[in-house]
A and B are shown apart, each in its own frame.
Chain A
Amino acid sequence: MKKLVEIKDVSKIYNPGENEVRALSHVNLTIGEGEFVAIIGQSGSGKSTLMNMLGCLDTPTSGKYFLHGQDVSHMSDDEQSDIRNREIGFIFQGFNLIPSLTALENVELPLIYRGVSKKERLRLANAALNSVGLEKRKTHKPSEMSGGQQQRVAIARAIAQAPPILLADEPTGNLDTHSTKEIIRIIKRLYHEGRTVIIITHDPGIAKQAKRIITISDGMIQSDIKNPEYKDEI
């Protein structure tokens, strides 16, 4: 398996000095292409910091982060933006859709920043929305949709430009049971289609859907196991 993500001795310290908070402490982690990983931890465990690190939203205090073998730990803001655009599809707990834009426009956004032509953009955005079953909601604004539907728009936005990594931060945290099942089903399907999926969660029920479970607490990796309960069906 080819290495996709390689984190080497990464630490993250907030407020350096007397009251410093060591959010991550000498973490080493490797994730290969096409893996399905859950990172589980309580709040304050450092999982959000790890997720920001993995998503190129933050830079480590020390240590190195290689993505596709490229060191991305000390890049400029714009270089990081570009990496996020090309390599990572985000799925957030709060959906993070832009309220003034329609579903289709929200999905188009990363493609606009990538400079994809209008025609190609519409094709990709429509395909992504179709694949999450939102053919009939394309012109709806987020406020006109249910939570589950909004999260499906967010997933469509994350996969529209086919990034190698899907990074989901508590993707079902704001959803009811029915919607949760649906979202998990979609995420599993995307894994089956060959994407690398990383879910960050505090919910063991969600974590056990993944093939590999990494437990984090106090800024350190406590365990990293193959999930014995993993079921390959969708």
Chain B
Amino acid sequence: MGKFGEYFKSAIKQIIGNGYRTLMTMLGIVIGIAAVIAVVALGNGMSEFVKSQLNDIAGNYGQLNINTSKTSERFTRDDIANLEEALPDIKGVSPDFTSYGKVTGRKGTFSASISGGAESLENYLSNGIVKGSYFNKQQVDSSQRVCVMLLDDAKKIFGTEDAVGMELDITVYGKTATYTVIGLRDHMNEMYTFLMEGQEYYAQIEMPYTALGADFDYDTEQFSSLLLFDDQQTLSDSVSKAENLLINAHGLRGTSALSAYSMADFADQLNQILGYAQSFLLLVSVISLVVGGIGVMNIMLVSVTERTREIGIRKSIGASTGAIMTQFLSEAAILTLLGGIVGIILGIIAAHLICTAIGFDVIITPTSVGGAALFSIMIGLFFGLYPARKAAKMKPIDALRL
């Protein structure tokens, strides 16, 4: 340590002695590291944001589908009962009917997407019922003409959010029936608004599938699609168990007629896409770091040339190749480490500013800070290697002659 400490000290002295030049050289590293820190923080914030917003829009559910062109088998009400019995911890299973039509209320007629399901369809969206109540099993079994919609839709259709008990006409394929609003869901979040921006407006109506079937001629004894609701943690597991049970029950093993996916898969896919975007940004930042590193190499080469005589003197009084090498390498590494530290501070500030402005959480992990510091040292060592070798390999007489 003794010797090394001395080389280290002389390196710091040299860096301070060349203050202005040091600062300009460090700038490349500062910008590079700051960019890396900010990009990583931004990426983490974005991925957290997307995750939480996805959970807010959609409940945690999986979908099981039968490919109707590959088999004549269909899901039945018995399947639903069997699944709920075999998987007692899940929140429920529901048929999945979706239809498009018109709804007419006090304020006029609007396009609507109509979902028919069992009482567990309540879990389909995560914004809960804030007025009235969701339809129950008894209402499903008795095909009651009741429905649930969003506060936003109620405001649009009826001009008021106090719409529980109001009636509206629902028209699908020319048939019209009158339904009573019994529950209203909370407003949708920003992410939903963002995703729906510029798209045609649809009111979202949910009703018992039995009523949907009775009024608009759907077969309510067999279905091609089921929804399974469960907690986020156990969803994937439950969906694959259900998939297996259904494959066995319908003798579809070995065919690809039954498929399943869960919201967890969707979130994974989305995160993967975000991951690519982040990798790209990271790559760009790393390129700027490399450019900074080349700047360091350049200034170190200049320094070696300027200090040829010093190198000669040091060698003539007994400095070994290793000693000169260590001196110049530590100079480069300290230079980039200093740049890295300033870059980390600037990066954290930038991350705070950007994330706060966009509304993401500011997530700066110790790994990214430690990694950036380590990486900046590595850059110094890597780009300092060539100049340091050049200095160390000088012959003392050649260096002294100048």
Interface residues of A (CB under 8 A from B): 52, 55, 57-58, 77-78, 81-82, 84-86, 90, 92, 96-101, 109-110, 112-115, 117-118, 157
Contacts and interface: CB of A to CB of B under 8 A. Distances in A.
B13 A84 contact: no
Contacts of B323: 113
B259 to A, nearest CB: 70
B14 A157 contact: no
By DSSP majority rule, is chain B's interface helix, strand, loop, or mixed?
Answer: helix
B320 interface: yes
Contact of B321 (A78, A96, A112): A78
Contacts of B319: 81, 113
A208 B318 CA distance: 31
A167 to B, nearest CB: 10
Contact of A98 (B2, B6, B314, B322): B314
Interface in B320-375: 320-323
B2 A110 contact: no
B268 interface: no
Interface string B364-396: 000000000000000000000000000000011
B321 A113 contact: no
Contact of B316 (A77, A82, A90, A118): A90
- Counting contact residues on chain B (CB < 8 A from A), the size range is 20 to 34
Contacts of B17: 100
**Which of A78, A81, A82, A97 has the most chain B CB within a 10 Å cutoff?**
A81
Contacts of A52: 397
Closest 5 CB pairs of A and B: A85-B318, A113-B318, A110-B317, A78-B320, A96-B313
A95 B354 CA distance: 57
A101 to B, nearest CB: 8
Contact of A58 (B2, B314, B397): B397
Interface in B197-243: none
Output the residue of B309, B312, B323, B397 with the most chain A CB within 10 A.
B397
B322 A84 contact: no
Nearest to B10: A101
A197 B368 CA distance: 60
Contacts of A109: 314, 317
B310 A84 contact: no
A90 B318 CA distance: 11
B245 interface: no
Contact of A57 (B13, B14, B316, B321): B316
Contact of A84 (B14, B317, B321): B317
Given A58-B397, A78-B321, A96 B3 contact: no
